[in-house]
Amino acid sequence: MSTKSPFDITGKTAIVTGSTKGIGRAIAVALAEAGAKVAVSSRDAGRVAETAQSLTESGHKVIGIPCNVGRKQELQNLVDQTKAQLGPIDILICNAAINPYYGPAMEIPDDVFAKVMHTNIQAQLWLTQMVVPDMKAQKDGAIILISSIGGLRGSDVIGAYNISKAADIQLAKNLAVELGPDNIRVNAIAPGLVKTDFARALWENPEFAEPRIAATPLRRLGEPEDIAGAAVFLASNAGRWTTGQTIVIDGGATVPV
């Protein structure tokens, strides 16, 4: 009987976008600790180098490749460089996203709305299209889209972001159906309010954060590490019969009461 952990992903190659801080970095660390070779990436070349160096010094096989996910050519370079340095891609985590507008949808500029959809949805599909050939060739792969509970709720101030995150949930379902026959699993993770730089304006505002905490059964906001374990589960053999699903991790905030 094998003693290998079902969460062991030793030797697998993973790309994690937006992985130099917050949820993305926590996922990259967790994948590396579970044995994966990881390509970390973000738009900030300095943070990419620092993250890759830190994880390498911790004994992990990690490379850093700067990439703006809104630029298709840079996405292709991310994939090509990862394959050249680490081998065929087994795991893709689409975490990078933007939310440049806070206000009513009735007033959002056309170009801002289009940029949110381009970065948060189109880029996920592009990257999936680029890594799938490797996965099809080996009849195995795991793709994880980082969505948000915003994709399950309405909002009068972050509506465009929520629309994009709802689309990520549907994209995971569609791709699961399309890619399942090749044993490629596609799932989404929908975090609640997590204490990251991305969401700092929300969790540092007591008028917003305190009512949210009071309405959350676990009575706290999330930490990036709270999300990482689910990514390892979905990327590993532990999640080998899970596809087309959205795992909500929010301390119970969306539980109907």
Give the residue numbers annotated as catalytic, written as ranges: 161
Contact 41, 66 (CB under 8 A): yes
In the structure encoding, which two tokens stand for residue 125, read together?
Answer: 């599909």
Those residues with Cβ within 8 angstroms of residue 167's Cβ, 6 or more apart along the chain or in another chain: 117, 120, 121, 151
In the structure encoding, which two tokens stand for residue 179, read together?
Answer: 């890619």
Exposure string (b/e) for 38-67, b if CB count within 10 Å is 16 or more?
bbbbbbeeebbeebbebbeeeebebbbbbb
Sign of CA dihedral 179, 94, 117, 129: negative
State how far the alpha carbon of 23 is from the alpha carbons of 84, 104, 174, 188, in Å. Answer: 26, 27, 24, 14
Instruction: Annotate 60-114 with DSSP letters as a single string.
Output: --EEE----TT-HHHHHHHHHHHHHHH-S--EEEE--------B-GGG--HHHHH
Q: How far apart are CA 130 and CA 136, in angstroms?
A: 11
**Directed axis angle between helix 72-86 and helix 123-138, to 10°?**
30
Nearest Cα neighbor of 25 from 16, 14, 37, 15 is 16
